[in-house]
Amino acid sequence: MQHNAYQQLEHDFLLRFPHGLSEPLLRAAIDSGNTAAVIDCCRQIVSRCTTVSTFERMAFRNYLAFSDVHRPFVAALYALLYRFDEASFADFVDVLQLCRHDGKANAAKWPLVSCFLAYSDPQQHVCIKPTTIKKLAARLDVDIHYRPLPNYDTYRRVQAMVQQFRAHSTLAAGQDNIIAQAVMYCAAA
């Protein structure tokens, strides 16, 4: 019975996100200019992501209300997910700041930037909740060079901290970064 429940959850996920943020879906949206499916998928991911606060969800929703950001957002998201380097990270943050003139639409927040990465590859990527991650870094005596504006250097340092925890934890052994961070976040609370 329980096995069927797990399959049902997977089925429900695929109904909501049939292609997720797959490379072909993003590439097709960039090539065609038709970003509606990607924007809808991103909106749904953020609305359901437990690491993104209510205020950050509202900021993202308000950000997406500016339709002129859709094409640059999808292009920057594609580069972030499928190239992931310092330049693509900085470009994604820049695109999320396009509406910062509207205080209610500034989407350049750590949980928003990092949720897309963690969703795409939880073995490699991490979700960053600033207050919690700063507490964890202090407790572990790790200098993450934290800055409020998402940046590649801090992200990579947090990523390394989580991977170090995974390497030294019996609870997180063999798990992805999301599970490792859940253990870390519960301990920091």
pLDDT, tens digit, for every residue of 29-81?
A: 999 999 999 999 999 999 988 899 999 999 999 999 999 999 999 999 999 99
Same domain, yes or no: 89 and 165: no
- The mean pLDDT value for 14-18 works out to 61
pLDDT digits 0-9 by tens, 170-187: 999 889 999 999 999 888
Domain edge (last residue) among 43, 77, 111: 111
Residue 39 lies in a domain: yes
Q: What is the pTM of this model?
A: 0.89
Residues 89 and 135 in one domain: no
Structural domain ending residue among the three candidates 111, 144, 174: 111
> Looking at the structure, do residues 85 and 143 belong to the same domain, yes or no?
no
Assess if residue 85 is contained within a domain: yes
* Total residues found in the chain within this entry: 189
Does residue 167 fall inside a structural domain?
yes
Provide the token pair at 108.
């350049």
**Residue 11 clears pLDDT 90, i.e. is over it:** no
Over 80: is that where the pLDDT of 1 sits?
A: no
Alpha helix segments (H runs only) across the chain: 2-16, 23-32, 36-48, 54-64, 70-83, 86-96, 110-120, 130-140, 152-168, 177-188
Query: Per the structure block, which two tokens stand in for 68?
Result: 């002129």
Mean pLDDT score across all residues of the chain: 91
Domain shared by 84 and 168, yes or no: no
Whether residue 27 has pLDDT greater than 90: yes
Range of the domain at 81: 14-111
Does 5 fall in a domain? no
Residues 71 and 96 in one domain: yes
Tens of pLDDT, residue by residue over 100-117, are 889 899 999 999 999 999
Cβ proximity of 40 and 61 under 8 Å = no
- Count of CB atoms situated within 10 Å of the CB of 117: 23
Q: Would you say residue 88 lies in a domain? A: yes
Could you tell me if 31 and 98 lie in one domain?
A: yes
Confidence of residue 169 (pLDDT cuts 50, 70, 90): very high
Q: Does 178 lie in the same domain as 107?
A: no
Residue 12, pLDDT above cutoff 90: no
- Residue 171 and residue 125 share a domain: yes
Nearest to 170 by CA among 159, 180, 158: 180
Q: Which among 62, 87, 111 is the end of a domain?
A: 111
Number of folded domains in the chain? 2
Q: Which pLDDT score, from 0 to 100, does residue 157 have?
A: 98
Do 149 and 167 reside in the same domain of the chain? Answer: yes
Mean pLDDT for the stretch of residues 122-134: 95
pLDDT of the residue at 18: 57
